[in-house]
Structure 1
Amino acid sequence: MVTETDTRNETAQRRATRATRPRADAVRNRERIVAAAREMFVEFGPEVPLDEIARRAGVGNATLYRHFPDRDELIHHVVVSVMSRTTDQAEAATAEEADAFDALRRFVHAAADERIGALCPMLSGGFDKDHPELLAERGRLEEAVDRLMTRARQAGRLRDDVAVGDLMVALSQLTRPLPGSACMNFDQFVHRHLQLFLDGLEAPARSVLPGSPATLEDLRRES
């Protein structure tokens, strides 16, 4: 039997749920701000004025600051977003491509489109590299890329003397223009140069690489 008290409690619970659930327009605004920030960090570096990011996102300054009280908070969410979206691309390529090297190739080009090269300039200064959310997303990305490369190597399609660190460094270097540079047509060269890089990854190797494969541990020691 449903009592009046039960009804009041249920009504109160529904109101509380509505109060804590973000409105759809708020979610859309947040996504637009993060997308605009990702683009502008690539073009101009992480010190681009937040007012300019708000303008590109099509929102007011107050809306931006309501979601992201300061620059560090916005940078954190951009980094996490880029990592998460790039990991999704790696997992989709693994699941949908029958050929192991085709999967790796698809991921590399998709990662470029996700602007993964914008991460390095943002991971400096006062950025919290040990934030639990960031560490979780980084681990997820590294595992996904390692699976892609292991699969291609086991299929005999990927040379043996490269590791995940080599791939991530190359992606960063080949997809990041100099902030504020006059090279406005940089994007037209990115996928061409990535394809040249991918040709160099295929087995059998045509040359012996100097040094040793760059592991993820090597990259962490350098950071």
Structure 2
Amino acid sequence: MASRMRADAQRNREQILCAARDVLVAEGVDAALDEIARRAGVGIATLYRRFPNREALLQGVAVDILSRMVEAFDRVRAAQTDPFEGLRLFMHAAVDLRIGAIMPALSGRFTVEGALSGAGRDPLRELQQLLGEAQEAGLVRGDVLVGDVTLMVIRLSRPLPGDVVPQDRDIAHRQLEIYLDGLRPAAARERAIRLPGPAIGFAWFNKIRERIAARD
């Protein structure tokens, strides 16, 4: 019985966080908690049992996003694909999480250090390692940095304004495939020039995400 109750509680938590992501993208951090509970299929009292206030819920969303990114890397590793395919799978997973819309919406409501502590690992470090493996294997052009990949995911995972294109997410995945082709060494050879600046590596992007988290 206790095991079933724990499973129910975990399911409720996941439903609340999933609903919160959707509502935050559509309405921002001041969205009604009643609406989040309604979309999650739970009562408002259940939401408050899991998250005693709005700040706790927003911090929970930040941790959940990074945790899901870590899980995406684990799935990539378990699939034992080549590094480029692993990179492709991860980027598509990140677009589905809509990280570029959600994390900026949480600005000032979480810290990078706190969110990473909750997630257990830093997905940015995992991404840098995967990108390096793809480059060492000759599958990704050598002048691409982790910031190039991360910022492209952020751009593609932000929905178009006004809900004018119902197929927005499908279009984002299509455009991601076009971008992925541009990462291949053949694209660099055909143009015969290196990428223009600025070149955003790990340290620079880490400062960017800290500014995103801290912005009022």
Superposition TM-score, scaled by structure 1 size: 0.81
- Of 124, 137, 140, which residue of structure 2 is paired with 1:155? 137
Same amino acid, percent of matched pairs = 42
Counterpart of 1:200? 182
Counterpart of 2:52? 69
Counterpart of 1:115? 98
Verify the 8 A CA contact 1:90 1:107 in the aligned structure 2: yes
Q: Distance in 2 between matches of 1:91 and 1:27?
A: 21
Q: Cα distance 1:139–1:163, how it changes in 2: closer, same or farther (>3 A)?
A: farther
Unaligned runs of 5+ in 1: 1-17
Counterpart of 2:207? 221
Verify the 8 A CA contact 2:160 2:168 in the aligned structure 1: no
Counterpart of 2:168? 186
- Supply the AA of the counterpart residue of 2:52: P
Q: Cα distance 1:35–1:87, how it changes in 2: closer, same or farther (>3 A)?
A: same
Structure 2 residue matching 1:160: 3-state secondary structure? coil
- Supply the AA of the counterpart residue of 1:60: G
Q: Distance in 2 between matches of 1:160 and 1:212?
A: 15
Q: Distance in 1 between matches of 2:199 and 2:117?
A: 23
- Answer with 1 or 2: which has the greater Rg: 1
2:28 equivalent to 1:45: yes
* Aligned residue-pair number: 204
Q: Which stretch of the first structure deviates more once superposed, 176-185 or 188-197?
A: 176-185
Q: Cα distance 1:212–1:135, how it changes in 2: closer, same or farther (>3 A)?
A: farther
- Of 22, 26, 35, which residue of structure 1 is paired with 2:9? 26
Q: Distance in 1 between matches of 2:6 and 2:120?
A: 29
Counterpart of 1:78? 61
Verify the 8 A CA contact 1:129 1:135 in the aligned structure 2: no
Superposition TM-score, scaled by structure 2 size: 0.83
Counterpart of 2:196? 210
Q: Which stretch of the first structure deviates more once superposed, 42-51 or 158-167?
A: 42-51
Q: Distance in 1 between matches of 2:105 and 2:27?
A: 12
Which has the larger share of helix?
2
Counterpart of 2:154? 172
Q: Cα distance 1:136–1:56, how it changes in 2: closer, same or farther (>3 A)?
A: closer
Measured against aligned partners, the alpha-carbon deviations of 1:69-88 in whole angstroms (never above 9, x if no partner) come to 22221111111111111111
Verify the 8 A CA contact 1:43 1:179 in the aligned structure 2: no
Q: Distance in 2 between matches of 1:97 and 1:42?
A: 33
Structure 2 residue matching 1:23: 3-state secondary structure? helix
Counterpart of 1:59? 42
- Supply the AA of the counterpart residue of 1:159: R
CA RMSD of aligned residues (A): 2.4
Q: Distance in 2 between matches of 1:194 and 1:109?
A: 8
Unaligned runs of 5+ in 2: 212-216
